[in-house]
Amino acid sequence: MRIDFEPGVPAAAGAARPVVDLEPLVATVSRQLHGEVDEQRIRCEMQRLLERDFAQARITAYLPIFLARGACEALRADLARAAAGGRR
């Protein structure tokens, strides 16, 4: 899945928009999490990060690194919470 991302700018506005190809990132995060998280959940987390943390990013060269790291950290925390809740 490729996402043209520039919040607040409609596609018809003709503005140059960075493109983030999530598929290689989703595969990387899935491997890092040993397949414990559904790939659709990983995509959703990355989209959430794009909208929440990088909406105003002007330099996008490092977005893939930040997205993969942020998604992995958030999803690991979710897994840890789920595991802790299951042991009670």
> Quick check: 8 pLDDT over 80?
no
Sheet strands (E) in 5-82 = 19-21
Mean predicted confidence (pLDDT) in 61-86: 94
Give CA–CA dist 78/73, Å, rounded.
9
Give CA–CA dist 40/24, Å, rounded.
13
> Quick check: 72 pLDDT over 70?
yes
Give CA–CA dist 87/59, Å, rounded.
43
Domain-wise residue ranges, the chain: 17-80
- What pTM did the predictor assign? 0.76
**Per-residue pLDDT, 9:** 47
**Per-residue pLDDT, 5:** 53
Per-residue pLDDT of 13-65, as tens digits, reads 444 455 788 999 999 999 999 999 999 999 999 999 998 998 888 888 999 99
**Per-residue pLDDT, 55:** 82
